[in-house]
Amino acid sequence: MDSGRLYFDPSSGNNMLFLGNCDPIFRGIGMKLDLEGFLAGAKSVVNMEETYGSKRRLFFSSPEDLYDEEYYDEQLPEKKRRLTPEQIHLLEKSFEAENKLEPEKKTQLAKKLGLQPRQVAVWFQNRRARWKTKQLERDYDLLKSSYDSLRSDYESMVKENEKLKSEVVSLTEKLLTKELAGAPLQNEKSDQLPVDSAHVAAPQISVKVEDRLSSGSGGSAVVDEDCPQLLDSGDSYFPNDNYQECMALIEIVQSEEDDGSEDGRNYLSDVFVTPEQHHHEEGEVLGWWGWS
């Protein structure tokens, strides 16, 4: 560790290589050498494998070199030196062009920068890692804004839905009130509540027909115990409260209406029915009104 490090010597303006602490036998010994000289092929000193890792790197051609005074310096340089802005600029430019290095390009770049090829490789490796991290952040931001937008759409739709539901309830009430006031609605029903279109959006609610028909005056509609089910048993557009409110009104209307109707039917009987009843009720043609 901490061996073969490059640093910039401000006094000479040269990139220098720090050799020391690289091997048990050299531990504690530090030395400097002129990198330019090294790169130019100064042969007496360094025989270095490019690859670090588990391999042992050889710094001296012979043990004698270890004791050669000219390579020592009392003042130990920094262990790690940051690259100069110029070096980084060139590396960045190369990275922009290509984020992976061909071996030739690596050597070429290393020479140009006065660095070891290994340093260039490491720089690219770290640069790729940084790029990846940034890319992940960008992707996260993108997904988050997309999620936020969808969520906001969803929330406004929920609000709109609530609004429409309360509108339905209030209109239903008005309708029933009108009916209670005595206005015959038989002819209006098909206009106001076309069965086909109504199918699309209503919970299925039923009134037991036999109950409705059983007596002249006392026959009250009874809500089927199993009835308050929605077609889609999951999310309801028609909360239980509203449903019960409506059913209470229907009960009143129906008990009023039974007396006078010709066939014992009113438009509400067409409206509130379960699919089961739609099939089971004998002799009765029941419509149904559903919300989707």
Partner DNA sequence: TTGTGTTTTATTGCCTCC
Partner DNA sequence: GGAGGCAATAAAACACAA
Q: Which residues bind DNA (CB under 7 A)?
A: 1-6, 51-54, 78-83, 88, 100-101, 103, 118-119, 121-123, 125-126, 128-130, 132
Q: Give min distance, CB of 200 to DNA, in A.
A: 51
For DNA, the closer CB: 4 or 219: 4
Residue with Cβ nearer DNA (39 or 231): 39
CB nearer DNA, residue 17 or residue 175 = 17
Name the minimum Å distance from CB 141 to DNA.
16
Q: How many whole angstroms separate alpha carbon 30 and alpha carbon 18?
A: 7
To DNA, the closest distance from the beta carbon of 11 in angstroms equals 16
Shortest approach of DNA to residue 132 CB, angstroms? 6
Burial class for 25, CB neighbours closer than 10 Å (0-12, 13-18, 19+): exposed
Return d(Cα 70, Cα 31) in angstroms, integer. Answer: 9
When the beta carbons of 98 and 148 are compared against DNA, the nearer one is: 98
Angle between helices 85-97 and 117-180 (to 10 degrees): 60
The answer to whether residues 28 and 20 touch, using CB atoms and an 8 Å cutoff, is yes
Nearest Cα residue to 3 out of 27, 20, 28, 25: 20
- Report d(CA 119, CA 110) in Å as an integer: 8
Q: Which is nearer to DNA, 110 or 268 (CB)?
A: 110
- In the complex, the smallest distance separating the C-beta of residue 204 from DNA, rounded to whole angstroms, is 54
Distance CA 4, CA 20 (A): 7
